[in-house]
Chains A and B, each alone.
Chain A
Amino acid sequence: MTPGLEHFLTVGALLFCLGLAISLSKRNAIGVLMGVELMLNAVNLTLIAFSRFTVSPNPIAGHTFVVFILTVAAAEAAVALALAVAVYRNRETVDVDRLNLLRS
């Protein structure tokens, strides 16, 4: 069977949801971040697949989008880790379920 758009989209969707599941379930902030990165990857995959398969006046837009997503992902990761470090310095943990000073 020849892989078509649907196949790539399926992989993308599954990857996205796996990423979501990870980010929604992991206790460790870094784990959550990994989930987010997976989601972003899934988005990238989807975009590239669309770029490749769909009729578009300007197919390069998908690629461009991906470039920016990569950039943002990097920035986000950096900031996230910085914040995690900041939290760790104060609380000796990056377990998000123990980050509950702020509630109700």
Chain B
Amino acid sequence: MELSILIFLPAIAAAVILLLPQRLEQQARWVALVTAAAMFVLSVQMFFQFDRDAGGYQFVERHRWVDIGAFNLQYLVGVDGLSLPLVVLTTCLTLASVLVSFSVTHRPRAYFACLLVLASSVVGVFVSLDLMLFFLFWELELFPMYLLISIWGSGRKEYSATKFVLYTIAGSAFMLIGILVLAFDAQTFDIERLAAAEFQDTLLPLGWVFFLLFIGFAVKLPIVPLHTWLPDAHSDAPTAVSVMLAGVLLKMGGYGIIRLCVTLMPEVAHDWDAWMAGIGAFSVLYGGFITLRQTDVKRLIAYSSVSHMGLVLLGIGALGSTGLTGATYQMLAHGLITGLMFVMIGLMYERTHTREIARLGGLARQMPLIATGMVFAGMASLGLPALAGFIAEVTVFLGAFQRFEWAVLASIVGVVLSAGYILWMLQRVMFGPVRHEWDELSDQRHWWEHTVVAGLAALVVLLGVYPALIMDVIEPAMTTLAARLQA
């Protein structure tokens, strides 16, 4: 029941918001806030209710949905150690997104409704245990994203929104084929049963099926060379959307690779492991190098996401319990850190209305709190120990090093690159001589701004110093998976 509430509560709230009368328009944010908070509380409660020792899926709900002969779909949701943390991440970042959007006054009803629908669909992706349900939610997320970017965005927002949607649709088109082929062979869309199925004689060679699914997820992750939608989407999206996009939407890709590609087709995963690790390492480096050249703060962070998400793939490619756990942890860590980063950039942008690094400078003097937050986020982003990113990165490296020494050695160079671009950005934006054109600007001052920044920062620290809290949830699931992979 909890999962259904998580999925449908925001959807219902979105409907409520849309039905608000015009004069209560500005109250939409409160409805959204209450909803997001309720979701967060509920998911956290689930997180602690979750039985860490029992394997398999928990909180499972199963209903028949479409039952037409061979076309047999279920409403089947549940969480395990992989998806539960991601669900919590989603609700957490939804809350953060709602809070950072508190100052949105342009068509607030539609805005918050979109945001909630987005949350609903992302949660749906993470908890669906039926392939078709999964795909449905996967596609559903496009609407709100498209509208959010194209209406409330900036710059070339229409271009970016369209690019985002087309890219995702293209990826999911491939994914759909893979899903259909798999489901045809196993005669079911149930992920658990698919995982148990032995695929023989599929319509397509299983490797192709893997590849088809992989493409869909790689677009989302994103993996070089399928990444160019990300910088555009990020740079033109409003803050909250960047938070959601970097924070949870990219994770859908990594989640999909683990949940579908690797779990359902372990043999193929074995054949392709070196490729995955190699592409992951390549993404890390490539993203890092290109990030160094970015002159727009948001684009910079977007490219850094490309680099960081490469690590996820590297960890997955290791196909071991450590690598997979690290990959999952990296998704969480990156979600929080980049979320925080975009919040900070958003706060800054709200005041300066520019993201051009060249136009900024010395802001730490005018807005010390924002600068502090930015430095904190930057440090987390470059993988500073005691913050979440470090644990994730090192776990990935340790997990993958046994099998792919060179890939790991190559990608640890990314650690230096990330220090390079983050510090360069901080130096240019926050430090240096004061620019008096920004003298009028205020520091962060609203309670929601404080709450978001402090909350996310606290979580980043918590994940950095007490990883066991989450690792203990992720690990059993990944160990089981790894055992299956070794078999």
Task: Consider the complex of A and B and state whether they touch directly, i.e. have CB atoms less than 8 Å apart.
Answer: no
Binding site for B on A (CB under 8 A): none
Using a CB–CB cutoff of 8 Å, the interface residues on chain B facing chain A are none
